[in-house]
Every structure is written in structure tokens, then in C-alpha cells.
Structure 1
Amino acid sequence: MSPALRRVAAGLAMALALATAHAGRPCEERPPTVHAVSQGLALGERTARALDASGAEVVLLARAGQDLSQYHLRWSHLAFAYRVKPAEGEVPGTWRVVHKLNHCGSDRAGVFRQGLGDFFLDSPHRYEAAFTVLRPDVAQRLRPLLDDNAGLARWHERRYSVVSYAWGTRYQQSNQWLTETLAGALAPEAVDRERAQAWLRLQGYEPTRLRIGALTRLGGRMTKANVAFDDHPSHLRFSDRIDTVTADSVFAWVSRSGLGTPERTVR
């Protein structure tokens, strides 16, 4: 087994033994298939190699958990990925991810740490990944926070909606937590969610505007606990305009603002 694969597989037995929260999906009691585990591990290994080759310490990492092509989006979910300093004799170290996950399709979510292999075991729509390498000074300011559980919770809201309003605080989806946490790490004044969002606006972040009709909104709200639209301003919601944080919009903003590199794809 290659060093990269050993690092990806670390903790996999625990991941398979324990129930895991799937981002925005119902919990399933069925264990993952051998094929799914194999594909997830292989993508994890390819990603680890790409991250090692990048020379980065911290990246924003995306997966294609759902098919969002109808909204012209490639990626569904973002995480922070960071290099753990290796023990003596280990080169170049292990990559971990920290991200927000929805609890089994409910209206609640939490922040979790995983290995790269675990990150891709959620039966993604497409076995590809993408990442952006954060600028060294940005990574340096963010890195200590990624080890600080209490710090990561500062900008976290447990109430979850997969389409939460980008500039609201009633709910929070996974990509929104990531951007607000990044803002908190970079801006001393961003001590809460409202101030983090104000900083993001000033830095030119633009959420994705989804066109979601009334019948689709009604169906989603009635059948899925993790879908809510009541946090969106009425003048936008009733004209089918839903502004939310997406991985694609974050990648575009990071590159445009100079906070990091253009996205790189791992296939």
C-alpha cells in the first residue's frame, strides 16, 4: 500500500463501524458497498497526492455529492482540508478535513473532522474533487483555528437549511459556515455571523442566485426537514430568486479576490 493510501485509510475501520452523518441525506443503515469504499479510497488517495504536490498547508476542498447540473453547478460541498504535521519519520504528513454536516436529513447540523478517505465515502454523484490553495498568509491565519473546536463553533448555527439565505442568520448550510469561518479567521472584527457576512460583502463575495419556483419550494419544505425558504427576503423568494452560498461561487470569489489559486480538479 502506498504512503498516500495508508494516510487516506487511517481511521477507515472506525468510519465503517460507526454511523455517519450524510450531508443533506437520510441516514442509511446499509453499510457502504465494497465498490463504493474502493472508489472513495481511490479518490482520497489521488486527492492526497495532489495536495502533497501543491505544497499547500490549507486548502478549500470540494466534492460532487449531488447532481446540481440543473443549476449549472459542479460542486455541492466544501470543507477545509489541512495538513497535520507528521510524526518523526513520516513524510509528508496526513491530511484532515473539517466541515459542517447535516444530521441525516434533519434540520440540525454539526461540525466534524474526518480523513480524506471518509470525506469521499458518502456515495458522491461524481468521483471527482476540486481544491483551491489558500494564499500563504491566509493559510497561516486560518490554520490555528482549524485545531480549535471552540473557535470553529463561534460562527456555527445548528439550525440547518440546504438553501439558507446567504446574508441571513436564521439557518446555516455547510458552505455558508465555511465562508463565515474563513471571514472570522481573517477579520478581527468578524466576531459573529453578522459581522462575518459584512466582511464577506466588503470583500466582494457574491452568492449564487438559484431560480426555484413556488411549487418546487413548497414540495421541498413539506417533504424535507432540511429545506427552508422562510429566511429569504420576500421580494426575492416570491420572484423565485434564492441567494445561497455554493462551492462554485466560493471558488470563483477566492480566485477573483486573490485569497487563493483558481480551482484545481482531481479526477
Structure 2
Amino acid sequence: MNTATRLMNMVRRALCAALAVACLIAVAGPVLAGQNCEPRRPSLDSMRRDLALAASVAAQLDGMAQRDGTRVVLIARAGQDLGQYGLRYSHLGIAYRDDAALDGRGAWRVVHKLNQCGSSRSALYRQGLAEFFGDGLHVHEAGVVVLKPELALRLAEQLKDDGVLTALHEPRYNMLAYPWSGPYQQSNQWAIETLALLAEPAVTSRAAARDWLRAHDYRPTTLQISSLTRLGARVSSAHIAFDDHPFGRRMAGQIDTVTVDSVFAWMQRSGLGGAPLRLRTLPLDRPQRRGAVAI
């Protein structure tokens, strides 16, 4: 058996293992992660790099868990190039360590929301890191924010409860949903509204979650999007709408929405989490030390 064949078999075994432990919170048809809905045939090299990143991130998170007791983090991927908007990451999830998984060996799980490609609908998923990073990446790195211990303690067990996670889920999806009204909900918005729900027992609705986010100084990103671009996006994309945005700001091309970068900045500013970290793929023979670069 040649090297290429052995590598392909290794990748296939790893993917099968990852799929075997994945759990769907809500079944909602074919879904591709984030907003990357273009058909693609992953190359052997891209699969290898995706899996290597997932394995390295898991090892680095395990090291943080052993040193500091880290159990819950916000985790992000760069599924597409958003540099023209000054953004690094495209998609956010909440990751937690499930110590009972894999026959007691433990594993990291990510809960996150995904848009159904070609539609305005969405569903929630619980996945392993191999799947979270296995849908095509623009940059092979993970953005991570460690939640402060008191907050992480409140979230740790609740994140395993599907009923809790679906409590504030709005299936009507809009990639550029306005953060302060409720007709639609995008992926990053679900994550921080659910964070509010898990952090504060008094939060029982999306409106209450938005009030909590305002009170804790969350500030959305304002994107400059021209009227022509808005029209083209609205006509050609079922998952993009602008009718929930305030008329005056919309006409001025000011589109406020929840981005990973704004969430990461808010977590540190509010004291709810630490400084954002970039976790990259480390060589297998390199000691799993801090391995993270502060953004």
C-alpha cells in the first residue's frame, strides 16, 4: 500500500469517526456550514489540513482544560474571506468539553446554527471539531475566547440540553439580520442570544436576551453596503433580507449585524471572557503548550 493510499484511508477513518459521534439537534435537510454553499469536491490535501487543525485544536483545548480547568469556549472559523469588511472570522459556535464522550476519554463538542443552503431556513447542530472545521476553510485556524469561570460553570451542563439550546432558536434565517429586532436570526446572533439565556435565569425570550446584551454593552458591526449591492443580494439570495433594519440606516447603507469579531471584542470588553486567541495547527511532535496567539 503506497503512502497516498494509506493517507486517504487514515482521512476516511477519521471522518467516519467524526460522523459517528455527531448529534443533530434539529433535522432540517441538507446543510453546509456557515455561508459556504457552493458545491465543492474537497481534495485530499484540504481534508488532511481540516482534520489536522481539528486534532490540534482539540489537543490545545485539552491542554487548557488540564492547566486552567477550561470547559467552555466560544469558537470560530474562517470559512470565507471577509477581509473587505475588516473581519477575520465568519462563523461562531459554543464549544464545551464532554468528559463522558468516547467511552470516558472525553471530547469537545460544538453547538451552532447553520443555514439550509438555497433557503431562508436554519437548524441547530451539535458536532465534533472535525465536522466544525471540515467544510472548507479560508484560513486554517480557530478563533477562541475562554469564558470566565463563573459563566462557564453556569453553561457547562446546560449546553448538553437540546431543549435549552432550541429555546431561542428562530428558524427564519437572514445572514445580515438586525440584532435588535426579531423577525430573523443569523448564526452568530443565535449564539449570543443563547449565551444570554444560559447566563441569566431571568432571560426567557429573545426580547429579554436582546435587553441583556444591550445592558452588557454588546455592539454589533456596522457594514457599509450600497443600495445596488443590497438589491442584488436580496433578489439573488433567499438567505439575505434587509427589511428588519431601521429605514434610515438602511437607506444610508449602514447595516448592523452580529459578527464573530464584534462578539470577541465584546467578550473581553465586558469581562465575560478572556482575550481572543488564534489556535493554529501544531506539529504532532511539538509539545502542546499554550500554542495560541493573542489577537
With the length of structure 2 as denominator, give the TM-score of the two structures. Answer: 0.82
Matches within 5 A, 1:1-267: 11-12=17-18, 20-26=31-37, 28=39, 31-55=41-65, 56-86=70-100, 91=105, 93-267=106-280
AA partner of residue 11 (structure 1): A
Partners in 1 of 2:16 and 2:121 — Cα distance?
Answer: 28
Partners in 2 of 1:152 and 1:208 — Cα distance?
Answer: 25
Q: State the SS of the aligned residue for 1:154.
A: coil
Partners in 2 of 1:112 and 1:11 — Cα distance?
Answer: 17
Aligned in 2, Cα 1:87/1:215: closer, same or farther, shift over 3 Å?
closer
The question of whether the paired residues in 1 share the 8 Å contact of 2:30 and 2:117 is answered with no
Deviation at 1:137, TM superposition (A): 1.1
Q: Which residue of 1 aligns with 2:283?
A: none
Q: State the SS of the aligned residue for 2:109.
A: strand
Partners in 1 of 2:167 and 2:255 — Cα distance?
Answer: 26
AA partner of residue 45 (structure 2): H
Structure 2: runs of 5 or more not aligned: 1-10, 23-28, 281-295
Which stretches of structure 1, 4 residues or longer, exceed 6 Å deviation after superposition? none
Aligned in 2, Cα 1:88/1:103: closer, same or farther, shift over 3 Å?
closer
The question of whether the paired residues in 1 share the 8 Å contact of 2:110 and 2:129 is answered with yes
Structure 1: runs of 5 or more not aligned: none
The question of whether the paired residues in 2 share the 8 Å contact of 1:58 and 1:83 is answered with yes
Deviation at 1:19, TM superposition (A): 5.6
Q: State the SS of the aligned residue for 1:230.
A: coil
Partners in 1 of 2:101 and 2:252 — Cα distance?
Answer: 55
Aligned in 2, Cα 1:88/1:198: closer, same or farther, shift over 3 Å?
closer
Deviation at 1:258, TM superposition (A): 1.0
With the length of structure 1 as denominator, give the TM-score of the two structures. Answer: 0.90
Partners in 1 of 2:31 and 2:188 — Cα distance?
Answer: 19
Deviation at 1:66, TM superposition (A): 1.3
Aligned residues: 258
Partners in 2 of 1:87 and 1:117 — Cα distance?
Answer: 15
Q: Percent identity?
A: 47
Q: Which residue of 1 aligns with 2:6?
A: none
Structure with greater Cα Rg: 2
Q: State the SS of the aligned residue for 1:124.
A: coil
The question of whether the paired residues in 1 share the 8 Å contact of 2:77 and 2:90 is answered with yes
